[in-house]
Amino acid sequence: MSKFFLKPSLKTDVVIVGGGVVGCSIARELSKYKVDVVVVEKEVDFCQGASKGCSGIIHPFVTPFNSLKGKLCVEGNKLMDKLTEELDVPFNRCGLLFVSLNRKETFFLFLVYLVMKWRGIQVKFLNKRELRKVEPNLTNKAKCALLFPSGGVISPYELTFALIENAQKNGVKTLLGTKVEEVLVENGEVKGVKTNKGVIETSYVVNAAGLYSDEVAETAGVRNFKIVPRKGCMIVFDKKLRGYYRHYVAEAKIKQDPRTKGGGALLTVEGNPLWGPNLKETGSKEDTSVSRKDIEEIINTYNVLFPDFPLKIITCFAGVRAASEKGDFVIERTKVKGFINVAGIQSPGLTAAPAIAKMVTELLRKEGLKLERKGSFNPYRKRINKLTDYPPEEQDKMIKENPGYGRIICRCEQVTEAEVVEAIKRGAKTLDGVKFRTRAGMGRCQGSFCTPKILEILSRELKIPVKKITKKGGKSLILLYKIKELLKGA
């Protein structure tokens, strides 16, 4: 990958710092207008931060209702149908089941029910019999439940990639592997950003840098919040168990155990059961390790709901929430003209992202940015066509048109060469880039079969040697030597 330096002449109207779901949502929203936007992301690909390490729930609500995150969550949830339709992103409004396991919790559920009715949030009460009918594998200790039909699940990376692809199509520029080191401020006004690859001149900076938003804000001299990293670990189970339950299920605990707060048992859009997350304050922004204790903790928590669930683990992963010490989102104009903080976006940041984007657009307008609608805006994006989504007759046509569809690369997820090539065309440069765009390597064998084939395709398409290919950028090289290379010195 060639390292280039930005010419001093790179100028734009708006710089968005951070290519997570929030930065990409803002970019896509701004691409509806006649403004030049550049998204700057320090990693080699988009969606490498919290947005990758999240569980993908589209929450029906969060408390407190009157907080900023409470409001944006409900708003974002409502925007999700149209957005995912335009971007062709699978979205499953599976419904959230809030389950009571004892009398106290039942009492609590009644209270919640009343509050929700009063708040105008769709909710349905299910008695024991009704509950058994919809979730037969749930523990027989389950007494009753509240069903929130607007709860759903989405693939957070698919959404983020779709947002940025569509934004790019509508003129947004992106700089990957580019880190904003300093926001340049003169006389209380934004002048530009200094990156490791040069300076970008701009009058508006949107700070959507996730875990590092406090540090970015500090360089602009407006750090009035602190990010407290909170790790959450999750377990993914084999797709074979997809029929085991249907909703996003959580226990209606009155006092939420802080270590499992916000977690549940859900089914990803691809059909894998996913349990978690838990919550740990590790003090580190980079620590995404999972410990044995995390695994046990999560299993113990959700085994209570599904005592006979066969624990066929496929993988575990973790993400770090960028919570502000106050607990709420920090989305505001600052005393530096042109600098907007979009920080502290912990859960439900994924759900809220479309609403955050609209809010930030309005803040930019108030800040003086001229926003005029673009007639040419195209809201649509198509997902990567997957061979196995089609019947044999169609598959045959697909292969005749593009022979790459005739070669299966990943046996577990049945991903074809054509899909891998398309993912690379859309921006994948690493093994993980291919994996998160196509699911190749995400199945039960975790890449044991497809890795050599994907390396070969990446090398061929990107015209780089196999030895230079990484898992996720930086020093995450996959193969370090050619055979015989280590024997030369001996």
Partner 1 sequence: MIERKVDLVVIGSGPAGLAASIKAYKLGLTNQVVIEREKYLGGVLPQCIHPGFGLKYFKEELTGPEFIQRFIDKVEEIGIGTFTDTTALKISRKGEVIAVNKKLGVMKIKSKAVILATGAREKTRWDVKIPGDRPAGVFTAGLVQKLINIEGYLPGKEAVIIGSGDVGLIMARRLTLEGVKVKGVIEIMPYPGGLQRNIVQCLQDFNIPLYLSHAATEIRGRERVERIKIVKVDENLNPLKGTEKEIKCDTVIFSVGLVPENELVSEIGIEMDSNTLGPVVNDYFQTTAPFLFSCGNSLVIFDLVDYVVENAETAAEGVNFYLKKGMKKAEERKVSFNKKIKFVVPQRVTCLKDVSFYLRVKKPEEKVFLSIKEINWRKYFQKIKPNEMVKVNLKREELLKIKGEKITFKLVRKS
Applying CB under 8 A, which residues contact partner 1? 240, 286, 288-292, 294-295, 313-317, 387-388, 392-393, 395-396, 399-400, 403-408, 411-412, 414, 417, 431, 444-449, 451-452, 455, 466-467, 470-472, 474-487, 490
Number of chain positions touching ligand FAD (CB under 6 A): 41
Instruction: Identify which of residues 292 and 373 has a Cβ nearer to partner 1 in the complex.
Output: 292
Q: How far apart are CA 163 and CA 379, in angstroms?
A: 10
Instruction: Identify which of residues 118 and 481 has a Cβ nearer to partner 1 in the complex.
Output: 481
What ranges in 139-224 are assigned the alpha helix state H?
Answer: 156-169, 213-219
Question: Could you give the C-alpha distances from 245 to 60, 107, 324, 354, in angstroms and in order?
Answer: 19, 25, 34, 29
53 binds ligand FAD (CB under 6 A): yes
Q: How far apart are CA 438 and CA 148, in angstroms?
A: 31
> In this structure, are residues 437 and 52 in contact, taking their beta carbons and an 8 Å threshold?
no
Q: To the nearest whole angstrom, how small is the minimum distance from the Cβ of residue 25 to partner 1? A: 26
59 is catalytic: yes
Q: Which of ligand FAD, partner 1, none has residue 102 at its interface (CB below 5 to 8 Å by kind)?
A: none
Q: Which of partner 1, ligand FAD, none has residue 388 at its interface (CB below 5 to 8 Å by kind)?
A: partner 1
Residue 321: name the closest of 97, 20, 96 by CA.
20
Interface residue with ligand FAD, options 241, 345, 359, 410 (CB under 6 A)? 345
* DSSP letter (8 states) at residue 251: E
* 145-179 b/e (C-beta count within 10 Å ≥ 16 → b): bbbbebbbbbbbbbbbbbbbbbbbebbbbbbbbbb
56 binds ligand FAD (CB under 6 A): yes
Instruction: Identify which of residues 61 and 244 has a Cβ nearer to ligand FAD in the complex.
Output: 61
> In this structure, are residues 138 and 245 in contact, taking their beta carbons and an 8 Å threshold?
yes
Interface residue with ligand FAD, options 31, 351, 361, 438 (CB under 6 A)? 351
User: What residues contact 436, with CB distance under 8 A and at least 6 apart?
Assistant: 47, 52, 157, 161, 428
Q: To the nearest whole angstrom, how small is the minimum distance from the Cβ of residue 167 to ligand FAD? A: 13
Q: Which residue has the tokens 């419904």?
A: 95
Which tokens is 211 given? 């875990």
364 binds ligand FAD (CB under 6 A): no
Site string for ligand FAD, 224-263 (x = CB under 6 A): --------x-------------------------------
Q: To the nearest whole angstrom, how small is the minimum distance from the Cβ of residue 174 to ligand FAD? A: 11
Instruction: Identify which of residues 137 and 414 has a Cβ nearer to partner 1 in the complex.
Output: 414
For the segment 274-313, give every residue that binds ligand FAD (CB under 6 A): 277
Q: Which of ligand FAD, partner 1, none has residue 449 at its interface (CB below 5 to 8 Å by kind)?
A: partner 1
Q: Which residue has the tokens 């997820």?
A: 413
Instruction: Identify which of residues 79 and 466 has a Cβ nearer to partner 1 in the complex.
Output: 466
Residue 413: name the closest of 245, 215, 239 by CA.
239
272 binds ligand FAD (CB under 6 A): no
Interface residue with ligand FAD, options 210, 404, 441, 443 (CB under 6 A)? 210
Of 28, 59, 247, 321, the active-site residue reads: 59
Q: To the nearest whole angstrom, how small is the minimum distance from the Cβ of residue 415 to partner 1? A: 11
User: What residues contact 107, with CB distance under 8 A and at least 6 apart?
Assistant: none
User: What residues contact 26, with CB distance under 8 A and at least 6 apart?
Assistant: 16, 206, 208, 342, 356, 357, 360, 361
Name the residue number minimizing CB distance to ligand FAD. 349
Query: How far is CA 59 from its chain centroid?
Result: 14
Sign for the pseudo-dihedral over CA of 47, 51, 56, 60: negative
Interface residue with ligand FAD, options 43, 135, 297, 417 (CB under 6 A)? 43
Site string for ligand FAD, 314-333 (x = CB under 6 A): -----xxx------------
Q: To the nearest whole angstrom, how small is the minimum distance from the Cβ of residue 246 to partner 1? A: 20
Q: How far apart are CA 320 and CA 304, in angstroms?
A: 26
Binding site for ligand FAD (CB under 6 A): 17-23, 40-43, 48-51, 53-57, 59, 179-180, 208-212, 216, 232, 277, 319-321, 345-351
Enumerate the active-site residues.
Answer: 59
